[in-house]
Amino acid sequence: MRRRPRKIAISILLLLLITVALSIFLQLELPAASGPYTVGRTIFRWVDSSRPEDLTDDPHDSREVMAFLWYPALPGTGAKGGYFPGLAFVSQALEESGELAKWEVLGLRWIRSNSSLDAEPLNGQGSFPVVLLSPGNGTNIEFYTSLASEIASRGYIVFGLNHPYDVAAVELSDGRVAAYDKSQWSLDAKAHQAYTAQRVQVRTADLLFAFDQLEMINADPNSPFAGLLDLNHVAAAGHSLGGITASEACKADTRFKGCVNFDGLQAGGPFSADVTAAPPDQPFLFLTKESQIHPVLIEKFETTSESYWVIIHGASHDSFTDGPVLQPSLLPFWNQADRFMALTQAYTLAFLDQTLKGQPANLLSSSVVHQDVSVKVFPSR
């Protein structure tokens, strides 16, 4: 009779181990994008010969930008690949950046992607609005795949930028690896604030340079993307420091028709690293975990022509990246990280559809407060 409880205990333990293993296995693949378009991805590496690279000792180094592109693609084309193309070239620098643990870098090689590498762009359905996406400090653009893929599946082309020395690691056009500049953390508070403001300026120049490259790609008859970019409807978006960059890019260039900041706050709030700076003139979305901001910043929101402060309750700063989505949970079911990502995708697409496609969004139609999300519309109505 004593053996039966023991067998039950062993069975429960085996079931638990199977459940955990299944959870980990399922977490190694991001949820498939839900839009009507198949998603392709490819990489561009651009050299801006007009700008020197400030963070290397070689005076002949020019600034480079790597663009990771997600786009509507022809089904059945391209090759299935890993989540992080070129991981072997940058894995050591990823570890040394301090932004990822060794086991996390190792785990990246096992993550599967639902999009096809170098798939044929979808032609014959007109051009698609464009989003330029800037990542957070020390964070590679690859870690925004869930968000970018979902946007692309809904009929957009997303150019995510890896800013050399500002992300964990990126391979340059000549095969060198630009590693994250960790020296910034040895600076005192005032010096680091100045360093951050300077990096925002560099990143902003990267976005403007990238926009110029889009115009060249769109006009090049030999480019597979010729004529596919609707450059009259382009938004700048970014997470954390990338969100501040997106705001600055909108102020610097009226070619951007909308601006999205995912949880980026500096001295000037979500608008700038400069406390005295004004908001952009374009429609502005601040999608954040922050439920409280300084009254002065609320006054700045009130000066905008059209802006939205959307709070995802319970989210963390990393909730706007793939990190929490990829972390194994105890049960292989939809969890809190998936919920936060789904809300981020929904409100981002509502803003983009309204701003770039002229499709009014009910999600942003009025100021509301409920358990999951609060929406505040400015100017107040």
Positive or negative, the CA dihedral 313, 315, 316, 321 is negative
Q: Give the integer Cα–Cα distance in Å for 339 and 266.
A: 27
Q: Per the structure, how many domains does the chain have?
A: 1
Q: What is the pLDDT of residue 380?
A: 83
DSSP-assigned states of every residue in 12-45: HHHHHHHHHHHHHHHHTBPPPP-SSSEEEEEEEE
Average pLDDT over residues 297-323: 95
Positive or negative, the CA dihedral 354, 270, 339, 321 is positive
Run of H or E including 280: none
- Predicted model pTM: 0.90
User: Taking the CB of residue 372, how many other CB atoms lie within 10 A of it?
Assistant: 12
Which tokens go with 196? 């951050």
Q: Lowest-confidence range among 51-60, 111-120, 172-181, 325-334?
A: 325-334
Beta-bridge partner residues of 230: 129
Domain with residue 73: its CATH number is 3.40.50.1820
Percent of the chain topping pLDDT 90:
76
Q: Structural domain of residue 326, as residue ranges?
A: 3-378
Lookup result for tokens 């005192």: 188
Residue 112 clears pLDDT 90, i.e. is over it? no
Q: What is the pLDDT of residue 24?
A: 44
330, with CB counted inside 10 A (0-12, 13-18, 19+), is: exposed
145-153 helix and 336-356 helix, angle to the nearest 10 degrees = 40
Residue 329 clears pLDDT 60, i.e. is over it? no
For 102, the 3-state DSSP assignment is helix
| Predicted confidence band of residue 328 (pLDDT cuts 50, 70, 90) | low
Residue 332 clears pLDDT 70, i.e. is over it? no
Lookup result for tokens 């638990």: 16
Q: What is the pLDDT of residue 6?
A: 58
- The CB-side HSE value for 105 (13 A sphere, CA atoms) comes to 21
Positive or negative, the CA dihedral 217, 157, 167, 54 is positive
| Predicted confidence band of residue 9 (pLDDT cuts 50, 70, 90) | low
Largest Cα–Cα distance in the chain?
82
